[in-house]
């Protein structure tokens, strides 16, 4: 593990000298965190930054990015534009990320110029390149599905051979760029292989075992630049069409040994990959030899941790800031026996205007905590979430689900 330096509290006065931002001048030692990307994760990070007295600056693609609507300090630029990212990074104390779109090579170059990026360029490839993630985790003997990279020109034969060895169906995954079920195909038979191989022409991909899972779970750990780690309990994630619809925290009826294993896995992966900030580990829970198998990683606040905003002493957004600033981490205790998070997906009856008109109806249940992103609505896009805390997972889930149905216009209160 590369040793990590404690944040030196570089005076950020340089960043205040620019005439374009005369407003931010009161507390010159407030740490300036620059977040590349201005989506909902940046938006919610701003809520935590306000409390901590941290100055959050975001790099937005455009004025409609949902964090650009609420942050005072917004710069514009594309995450793959070297110039724009370099300009953005030069005057911040710590650079961090709302997504995985900044090339690790660019981050490495910025680090050579003295920028402190968290997570750093050595960790980012493992979330930008799923094949490198699989290889590295397997090398370090973490439980991962079996996988293979087909030989160029022999893709169909190699996938069929892999499936015959490990069983149908198999999973074909794009090496980069996938999220919310995009970039992942479950292939049931040889004609399906032919289809997907054709579709993926020109894209790097690999094939892996379809894990026969009982359910999907996830665990989040924070690792501070000071080396401290803290995790939340393992949660259950419920997916529909590849998109997470519910998170139940903690996961109901988890075997204590499995919960401990999940925690150990997450903390060890964070150390192994030298992650600074938040790490989400999505896992398959199985009835097989390996009760937990790693599916995906994310090195930032993550949808599976939105429940912490209302259900834990420290939210994932506050924890991410504390971790990247090298500060002590916050208590991850629960504030209620169970919290259920339900995602609000846009589309059909759920355009943003209609959702806003329906807020009062959804809030008629006084325990419903709404988090709206004020995003441009596209079908299936996450435009908000609802948390409900309670004593019993099923009741909390029904209440959260009902609030989401009301917001989507699928139920009249």
Side-by-side strand order, sheet with 55-60: 73-76, 55-60, 32-36, 94-97
Strand partners, 201: none
Chain position carrying tokens 């420290």: 314
8 scored as a contact of a copy of itself (CB under 8 A): no
Q: By CB under 8 A, what part of segment 73-102 binds a copy of itself?
A: 74
3-state SS, residue 258 = helix
379 scored as a contact of a copy of itself (CB under 8 A): no
Instruction: Quote the Cα angle for 68-69-70, to 5°.
Output: 95
145 scored as a contact of a copy of itself (CB under 8 A): no
398 scored as a contact of a copy of itself (CB under 8 A): no
Fill in the DSSP letter of residue 328. Answer: P
229 scored as a contact of a copy of itself (CB under 8 A): no
Residues 6+ apart with CB under 8 A from 139: none
For strands 55-60 and 32-36, give the pairing: parallel
Q: Pick from 371, 381, 398, 411 the residue near a copy of itself by CB under 8 A.
A: 371
Q: Pick from 167, 227, 264, 360 the residue near a copy of itself by CB under 8 A.
A: 360
Q: Pick from 3, 19, 22, 202 the residue near a copy of itself by CB under 8 A.
A: 22
Helices 130-139 and 256-272: crossing angle in degrees, nearest 10, is 110
Biggest CA–CA distance in the chain, Å, is: 66
Helices 316-324 and 40-52: crossing angle in degrees, nearest 10, is 70
Nearest residue (CB) to a copy of itself, 300 versus 322: 322
Instruction: Name the residue among 43, 112, 34 with its Cα closest to residue 383.
Output: 43
Q: Pick from 30, 84, 149, 161 the residue near a copy of itself by CB under 8 A.
A: 30
Binding mask 53-72 for a copy of itself (x = CB under 8 A): x-x-------xx-x-xxxxx
- Binding part of the chain for a copy of itself, among 46-54, 127-135, 255-263, 396-404 by CB under 8 A, reads 46-54
Q: Pick from 24, 168, 179, 213 the residue near a copy of itself by CB under 8 A.
A: 24
337 scored as a contact of a copy of itself (CB under 8 A): no
Cβ atoms of 283 and 236 within 8 Å: the answer is no
Q: Pick from 10, 52, 149, 174 the residue near a copy of itself by CB under 8 A.
A: 52
Q: How far is the CB of 117 from a copy of itself (least distance, A)?
A: 20
Dihedral angle at the C-alpha atoms of 96, 100, 103, 109, nearest 10 degrees?
A: 20
- Binding-site size for a copy of itself (CB under 8 A) equals 67
151 scored as a contact of a copy of itself (CB under 8 A): no
Q: By CB under 8 A, what part of segment 292-321 binds a copy of itself?
A: 309-310, 313-314
Instruction: Name the residue among 41, 23, 166 with its Cα closest to residue 99.
Output: 41
Q: Which residues bind a copy of itself (CB under 8 A)?
A: 9, 22-31, 43-44, 46-47, 49-53, 55, 63-64, 66, 68-72, 74, 230, 309-310, 313-314, 322, 325-331, 333, 335-336, 352-353, 355-357, 359-360, 363-364, 366-367, 369-376, 384, 389
């Amino acid at each position: 593990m590369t040793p990590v330096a404690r944040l030196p509290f570089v005076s950020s006065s340089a960043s205040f000298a620019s005439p374009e931002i005369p407003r931010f001048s009161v507390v010159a030692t407030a740490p300036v965190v620059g977040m590349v990307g201005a989506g909902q994760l940046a938006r919610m990070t701003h809520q935590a930054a306000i409390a901590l007295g941290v100055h959050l600056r975001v790099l937005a693609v455009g004025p409609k990015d949902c964090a650009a609507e609420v942050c005072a300090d917004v710069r514009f630029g594309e995450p793959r534009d070297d110039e724009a990212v370099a300009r953005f990074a030069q005057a911040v104390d710590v650079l961090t990320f709302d997504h995985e779109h900044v090339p690790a090579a660019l981050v490495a170059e910025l680090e050579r110029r003295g920028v402190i990026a968290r997570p750093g360029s050595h960790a980012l490839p493992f979330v930008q390149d799923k094949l490198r993630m699989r290889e590295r985790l397997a090398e370090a003997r973490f439980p991962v599905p079996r996988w293979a990279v087909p030989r160029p020109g022999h893709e169909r034969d190699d996938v069929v051979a892999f499936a015959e060895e490990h069983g149908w169906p198999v999973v074909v995954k794009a090496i980069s760029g996938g999220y919310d079920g995009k970039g992942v195909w479950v292939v049931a038979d040889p004609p399906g292989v032919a289809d997907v191989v054709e579709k993926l022409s020109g894209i790097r991909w690999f094939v892996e075992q379809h894990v026969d899972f009982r359910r999907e779970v996830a665990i989040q750990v924070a690792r501070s630049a000071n080396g401290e780690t803290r995790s939340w309990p393992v949660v259950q994630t419920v997916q529909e069409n590849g998109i997470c619809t519910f998170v139940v925290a903690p996961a109901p009826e988890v075997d204590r040994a499995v919960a401990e294993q999940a925690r150990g896995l997450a903390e060890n992966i964070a150390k192994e990959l030298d992650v600074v900030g938040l790490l989400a580990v999505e896992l398959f829970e199985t009835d097989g030899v390996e009760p937990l198998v790693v599916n995906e990683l994310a090195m930032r606040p993550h949808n599976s941790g939105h429940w912490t905003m209302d259900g834990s002493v420290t939210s994932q957004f506050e924890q991410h800031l504390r971790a990247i600033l090298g500060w002590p981490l916050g208590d991850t205790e629960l504030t209620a026996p169970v919290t259920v998070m339900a995602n609000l997906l846009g589309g059909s009856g759920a355009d943003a205007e209609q959702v806003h008109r329906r807020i009062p109806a959804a809030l008629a249940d006084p325990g419903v905590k709404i988090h709206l992103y004020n995003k441009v609505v596209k079908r299936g896009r996450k435009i908000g979430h609802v948390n409900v805390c309670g004593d019993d997972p099923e009741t909390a889930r029904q209440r959260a689900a009902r609030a989401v149905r009301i917001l989507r216009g699928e139920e009249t209160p």
